[in-house]
Amino acid sequence: MPAGRHFLQIPGPTNVPDRVLRAIDRPTIDHRGPEFQVLAKEVLEGMKRIFKTRHPVVIYPASGTGAWEAALVNTLSPGDRVLMSETGHFAALWQKMAGKLGLEVELIPGDWRHGADHAEIEKRLAADPSHAIKAVCVVHNETSTGVTTRIPLVRKAIDGAKHPALLMVDTISSLASIDYRHDEWGVDVTVGGSQKGLMLPPGLSFNATSDKALAAAKAARLARSFWDWGEMIAANANGWFPYTPATNLLYGLREAIAMLEEEGIPNVYARHDRHAEATRRAVRAWGLEVLCANPDEYSSSLTAVVMPAGHDSDKFREAVLRHFDMSLGMGLAKLKGKIFRIGHLGDFNDLTLAGTLAGVEMGLGLAAVPHRKGGVQAALEYLEAQARTASGARKAA
């Protein structure tokens, strides 16, 4: 084993902080006993604060893919039409799942460098006077591309078309890292996962609901059993689960929520914004290109970097892993070999970013990828200036 800590700088799973690891490292308790009841109520309420909702949040012992399925099967019926935007690999996987479940997908194609096209969503909905489209599904932060979709604009598009479709949003790689407001933005189902901004191991996933989604669930006819909100929400009201919960991950979740709230959720978002900006400055100084084509859609949880033509990002990533024990995200599906992704989310600070960017810059040199030096320096100058401004603001207060 190499000395020192492995740098897990993929855009999730992220580094699990010691506090969360220690919280998980406890005996599993009876999930039908009073101690569990207190834990369950705490995390269910805590997750409402993270999603910014007053509606029920459902917690599944499953990876994010399970929560995708739960969102669809609880609210829709066989043959229902859903409108989806092809923003990248994860949007494409959600689309594939919808097809497998017997839904009819209307797809808005995309170039994997932009977020969902809200004007096109409005156009498609306006062209659907019979309201055959039952849901609009978008990925808030496309983990495969480092591009975000502005959810309030999607909400506006649905309202602009005066269309009753449900709005479903995947926040698996944005929750607890990028500003998100389930109720205020009028989202009906938000899908989340444990292994990214929440700083937990993989294994928990979430659905935040709305009155409209819960009403749709009463009429929905897709087969559901494990994912059924009805039994979950009824049991959760008293601190119980209808089947064995992932008790130790819930200990971790309680600790993670406490950590996020100690830092202050707005500060968590600001920290991610700062690290993303510093990363983009480094990328530009290296003379490389950020994959995201629209600055209004930059992701604060990861940055995807385009490889110069003729250079394979997997060979570069392999060099970084071999020399510096750091994992970077690969290019997925049609982006394989063409980009690499720097994860800067979760339990992450200025010096973690400095180390990460140093590993990237040295790796570019070792893999003979054409670039200029000075990316790390550009990032450090930005971080130093930000730290100076923050300490000035603290003194003035």
Ligand X SMILES: Cc1ncc(COP(=O)(O)O)c(C=O)c1O
65 counts as binding ligand X under rule CB under 6 A: yes
63 counts as binding ligand X under rule CB under 6 A: yes
84 counts as binding ligand X under rule CB under 6 A: no
- Can you tell me which of 7, 9, 10, 12 binds ligand X, judged by CB under 6 A? 12
Q: Which is nearer to ligand X, 301 or 356 (CB)?
A: 301
Q: How far is the CB of 262 from ligand X (least distance, A)?
A: 26
193 counts as binding ligand X under rule CB under 6 A: yes
Q: Which is nearer to ligand X, 37 or 327 (CB)?
A: 327
227 counts as binding ligand X under rule CB under 6 A: no
248 counts as binding ligand X under rule CB under 6 A: no
Q: How far is the CB of 348 from ligand X (least distance, A)?
A: 17
- Can you tell me which of 9, 85, 87, 143 binds ligand X, judged by CB under 6 A? 143
From 169-177, 179-187, 280-288, 354-362, span contacting ligand X (CB under 6 A): 169-177
Interface of this chain with ligand X, residues 88 to 127, rule: CB under 6 A: 90
Q: Which is nearer to ligand X, 198 or 378 (CB)?
A: 198
Q: How far is the CB of 64 from ligand X (least distance, A)?
A: 3
| Secondary structure, 3-state, the chain | CCCCCCEEECCCCCCCCHHHHHHHCCCCCCCCCHHHHHHHHHHHHHHHHHHCCCCCEEEECCCHHHHHHHHHHHHCCCCCEEEEECCCHHHHHHHHHHHHCCCEEEEECCCCCCCCCHHHHHHHHHCCCCCCEEEEEEECEECCCCEECCHHHHHHHHHHCCCCCEEEEECCCCCCCCCCCCCCCCCCEEEEECCCCCCCCCCCEEEECCHHHHHHHHHCCCCCCCCCHHHHHHHHCCCCCCCCCCHHHHHHHHHHHHHHHHHCHHHHHHHHHHHHHHHHHHHHHHCCEECCCCHHHECCCEEEEECCCCCCHHHHHHHHHHHHCEEEEECCHHHCCCEEEEECCCCCCHHHHHHHHHHHHHHHHHCCCCCCCCHHHHHHHHHHHHHHHHHHHHHHC
Q: How many CB atoms lie within 10 A of CB 210?
A: 21
290 counts as binding ligand X under rule CB under 6 A: no
Q: How far is the CB of 297 from ligand X (least distance, A)?
A: 14
172 counts as binding ligand X under rule CB under 6 A: yes
13 counts as binding ligand X under rule CB under 6 A: no
Q: How far is the CB of 290 from ligand X (least distance, A)?
A: 18
Interface of this chain with ligand X, residues 122 to 141, rule: CB under 6 A: 139
**Total number of residues that touch ligand X (CB under 6 A):** 12
16 counts as binding ligand X under rule CB under 6 A: no
64 counts as binding ligand X under rule CB under 6 A: yes
From 58-66, 176-184, 279-287, 291-299, span contacting ligand X (CB under 6 A): 58-66
Q: How far is the CB of 193 from ligand X (least distance, A)?
A: 5
- Can you tell me which of 9, 14, 173, 279 binds ligand X, judged by CB under 6 A? 173
- Can you tell me which of 86, 122, 170, 297 binds ligand X, judged by CB under 6 A? 170
Of 257, 139, 182, 193, nearest to 12 by C-alpha is: 193
* CB neighbour burial string for 345-356, b if at least 16 within 10 angstroms, e if fewer: bbbbebebbbbb
Instruction: List residues near ligand X by CB under 6 A.
Output: 12, 63-65, 90, 139, 143, 170, 172-173, 193, 202
